[in-house]
Chain A
């Protein structure tokens, strides 16, 4: 489009834009759909890095964000893992928080009312130790006013199957997907773990089990050792690696999954700038999640959509989905 700073020309553009035949002067359209979920822009706050939203009040204008995916919720409150829970690594962060959360009852009573006043799409991340638990939480969220979609964390251990993560077993991942879909009419996004041999296999399985979208990637399993104390740096020994360090691998996996399934793909992994987000959108992600970057700079998820808009204006791209590279 013609990007004019001159106010007279701009007003001229506005009058032209009223004519449907002059789409060239319209401002870029950043909105997207994921199933029945409509997002005002493709930038979401990733679960586990934005609390329950209120923590960011005054530091990030949530109304400018495409959606917020709140901290993963379980049936019962979870105290989380003992400290140390964090260790910084080059361009990255290892964490083993242990899915600490307030539990579904407290979420509905204490956290959800505040979130209803935010003018962005609310997505609730859920987790469980059995297929039944996932289904039970999904059912409780089904009628909850204000909840627009569910994201399912399948990186949790399947207690009944000896603790192996649901997300590393395509069949178990499909079972969770089916159970959650049956329990709720809300759009269901399955969040995939990268700690598998072939992520496209899990993506295909959950897609055929009825998932409305997949989001990827969750963190990479990693570790660090404190050579002064001669002990693992995390009390839990292993933790999940996030941050800019993982971006190239995340991008590669998103590229692969986009080409392996027909459902929308949400890209996650080290996105800190508009340029990072653009790479994922060009790889074919329909939306992106901002995670660790929010911990570093709380306003990131507000700056990224603004940067995407600038890029689209500068490159005469009308719809955000047109950013995807041609095959």
Chain B
């Protein structure tokens, strides 16, 4: 699978909610080979500025047959703030597609997708792919409705679609793990759980999956410098040894039981 580092034209930059943006670029060569769960490294600096120095890793949210790739991201610091100021028509350098995405299950599986906040970003492509062959249950949670402004992209994909918000502004009041507990009580024969969101949420999802003997795949986040396995900066402790997983190259998607969930940064 070829990785490319190319200048891509911005075709859309939309603020969807406070601090949440959808960026779409034209990068057919990357779009063409991108798998669900993969990411790209985007250059956020202007021209030859050296600050901020590093690119920012963003999950591939959406791809379209016309060669466009969309990234759903949150302004969390200087880098993403600069990126959010970039306008359609400008070029942004994109390196991708990177990392190991979600592994799909054969034989028309029944899968649950659990997304927390902007952790939904790598799950849309996956949901679209599973929908073609299997039964899909989507559970999404957030603090409030404004944290998940693209929820309609998901709601049309399955009739088993449930939302929980902590303030009750959308769907059931509570946590996405409440939805998962209910689902696991009512439905059997789940082949796989896929999840992405805050670390405590993913940890809870993993433990719930393990109690039911359901395999669980998680998409992890880490501070990265290169995105391609050069610096070994994006380490996450392994569950079975003193060693580390590297989010950029061996991940970002891992089998949840590979990860040492007790580690807190």
Chain A residues engaging chain B, CB cutoff 8 angstroms: 48-51, 55-56, 58-59, 71, 79-88, 90-93, 95, 97, 100, 235, 243-244, 272-273, 292, 294-299
Set of chain A residues within 8 Å of B171, measured between Cβ atoms: none
Report how far A92 CA is from B5 CA in the complex, Å: 22
Given contacts A243-B50, A297-B5, contact A97 B265 (CB under 8 A): no
Report how far A51 CA is from B244 CA in the complex, Å: 16
Report how far A88 CA is from B225 CA in the complex, Å: 8
B168 interface contact, C-beta 8 A: no
Give min CB distance, B212 to chain A, whole Å. Answer: 30
Chain B residues engaging chain A, CB cutoff 8 angstroms: 2-5, 43, 48, 50-55, 79, 93, 95, 222-226, 228-237, 241-244, 249, 263, 265
A-B CB contacts (within 8 Å), total count = 110
Set of chain B residues within 8 Å of A273, measured between Cβ atoms: 48
Contact status A95-B54, CB under 8 Å: no
CB < 8 Å: which of B229, B236, B243 contacts A83? B236
Cβ contacts A to B, 18 pairs, < 8 Å = A50-B230, A58-B2, A58-B4, A59-B3, A82-B244, A83-B236, A83-B244, A84-B223, A86-B231, A86-B233, A86-B234, A100-B244, A273-B48, A295-B225, A295-B230, A296-B43, A296-B54, A296-B225
Cβ-closest 5 pairs across A and B: A86-B233, A295-B226, A244-B50, A295-B225, A55-B229
Give min CB distance, B218 to chain A, whole Å. Answer: 16
Set of chain B residues within 8 Å of A91, measured between Cβ atoms: 50-51, 53
Give min CB distance, B245 to chain A, whole Å. Answer: 10
Contact status B235-A82, CB under 8 Å: yes
Given contacts A87-B223, A92-B53, A100-B244, contact A295 B265 (CB under 8 A): no
| A243-B50, A296-B54 given; 20 more Cβ-contact pairs under 8 Å | A49-B230, A55-B228, A55-B249, A58-B3, A58-B4, A79-B243, A82-B263, A84-B265, A86-B234, A87-B223, A88-B54, A91-B50, A91-B53, A95-B233, A243-B53, A272-B50, A295-B226, A298-B95, A298-B228, A298-B230
Contact status B230-A55, CB under 8 Å: yes
Set of chain B residues within 8 Å of A71, measured between Cβ atoms: 232
Which residue on A lies nearest to B243, using beta carbons? A79
Which residue on B lies nearest to A90, using beta carbons? B51
Contact status B230-A93, CB under 8 Å: no
Set of chain A residues within 8 Å of B3, measured between Cβ atoms: 58-59
Set of chain B residues within 8 Å of A298, measured between Cβ atoms: 5, 95, 226, 228, 230
Report how far A294 CA is from B54 CA in the complex, Å: 10
Contact status B53-A51, CB under 8 Å: no
Set of chain B residues within 8 Å of A296, measured between Cβ atoms: 43, 53-55, 225-226
Set of chain A residues within 8 Å of B223, measured between Cβ atoms: 84-88
Contact status B231-A295, CB under 8 Å: yes
Report how far A166 CA is from B143 CA in the complex, Å: 52
Give min CB distance, B222 to chain A, whole Å. Answer: 7
CB < 8 Å: which of A83, A90, A92, A299 contacts B235? A83
Give min CB distance, A137 to chain B, whole Å. Answer: 19
Set of chain B residues within 8 Å of A235, measured between Cβ atoms: 265
Set of chain A residues within 8 Å of B229, measured between Cβ atoms: 51, 55
Given contacts A49-B231, A59-B5, A83-B235, contact A93 B225 (CB under 8 A): yes
Contact status B231-A299, CB under 8 Å: no
Set of chain A residues within 8 Å of B235, measured between Cβ atoms: 80-83, 85, 97, 100
CB < 8 Å: which of A88, A100, A297 contacts B232? A100
Set of chain B residues within 8 Å of A51, measured between Cβ atoms: 229-230
Report how far A164 CA is from B70 CA in the complex, Å: 50
Contact status B54-A295, CB under 8 Å: yes
Which residue on B lies nearest to A48, using beta carbons? B231
Set of chain B residues within 8 Å of A295, measured between Cβ atoms: 54, 225-226, 230-231
Among A85, A235, A272, A295, find the residue whose CB has the most chain B CB atoms closer than 10 A: A295
Which residue on B lies nearest to A55, using beta carbons? B229
Set of chain A residues within 8 Å of B53, measured between Cβ atoms: 88, 91-93, 243-244, 292, 296
Which residue on A lies nearest to B228, using beta carbons? A55
Give min CB distance, B123 to chain A, whole Å. Answer: 24
Report how far A87 CA is from B52 CA in the complex, Å: 11
Give min CB distance, B233 to chain A, whole Å. Answer: 4
Set of chain A residues within 8 Å of B231, measured between Cβ atoms: 48-49, 86, 95, 97, 295
Contact status A83-B222, CB under 8 Å: yes
Set of chain B residues within 8 Å of A243, measured between Cβ atoms: 50, 53
